[in-house]
Chain A
Amino acid sequence: QQQVKQSPQSLIVQKGGISIINCAYENTAFDYFPWYQQFPGKGPALLIAIRPDVSEKKEGRFTISFNKSAKQFSLHIMDSQPGDSATYFCAASMEGTYKYIFGTGTRLKVLA
């Protein structure tokens, strides 16, 4: 019940295309859902985050879509660029715990 399932494991997208990464959770007590981007040799960096009281959040080319009833959320990267090539992790957290449960990651490669 504490797991966050992430798919796909890897993704190849052409430059300018849309990258979509999906996550699903079971525990309805989760109330904060961040996405992190990690480049090789670097620590994860916060990309965008959402709370379950909204269904969508957009920041630049990055959008989170959240479906509370389905317990799913996804990251959309519009106009994907080679510089977006990295590993993306979704995570979930419960209020007061500050404990992130991370997904297993998606390795994105954007072809030039």
Chain B
Amino acid sequence: EAGVVQSPRYKIIEKKQPVAFWCNPISGHNTLYWYLQNLGQGPELLIRYENEEAVDDSQLPKDRFSAERLKGVDSTLKIQPAELGDSAVYLCASSTTSGYTQYFGPGTRLTVL
């Protein structure tokens, strides 16, 4: 069974530029999560989707971050414009609707110069 797929794995951009990350969850997993992981810290939830619906986006900085999961499968997280403080690893995870176990992808390491 394929795991959670994320791309790109690494991204380097100049500040004020836009950037987008893509995630394909494990087949059959209706719940999808985006996490932010700063260096030396645990992941922090940005947004959770149940199918197409964002059911928890309270931690998403909506002035510059947006996310979508149009067909209830893969998802895109966007930052526009990026700031220096956005440099981090962006993790995607998925789970079954009613399951507790979250399966993480390898993450996208973003560097903002």
Contacts and interface: CB of A to CB of B under 8 A. Distances in A.
Interface of A: 6, 32, 34, 36, 41-46, 49, 89, 91, 93, 97-100, 102-105
Given A49-B100, A49-B101, A102 B44 contact: yes
B76 to A, nearest CB: 18
Given A42-B106, A43-B91, A43-B106, A102 B43 contact: yes
16 contacts: A34-B100, A43-B91, A43-B106, A44-B91, A46-B103, A49-B100, A89-B42, A93-B100, A98-B31, A98-B95, A98-B100, A98-B102, A99-B56, A102-B42, A102-B43, A104-B42
Contacts of A104: 40-42
Contacts of A89: 42-43
List 6 tightest A-B contacts by C-beta distance, closest first: A102-B42, A43-B104, A44-B104, A43-B106, A89-B42, A32-B100
Interface residues of B, number: 22
B101 A46 contact: yes
B45 A99 contact: yes
A41 B106 contact: yes
B43 A100 contact: yes
Contacts, number: 51
A72 to B, nearest CB: 17
A86 to B, nearest CB: 14
A93 B42 CA distance: 14
Contacts of B41: 104-105
Nearest to A96: B98
A51 B41 CA distance: 24
Contacts of A6: 42
A105 B91 CA distance: 16
Interface in B68-113: 91, 93, 95, 100-107
B104 A45 contact: yes
A44 B100 contact: no
A45 B93 CA distance: 10
A105 B31 contact: no
Contacts of B105: 43
Nearest to A89: B42
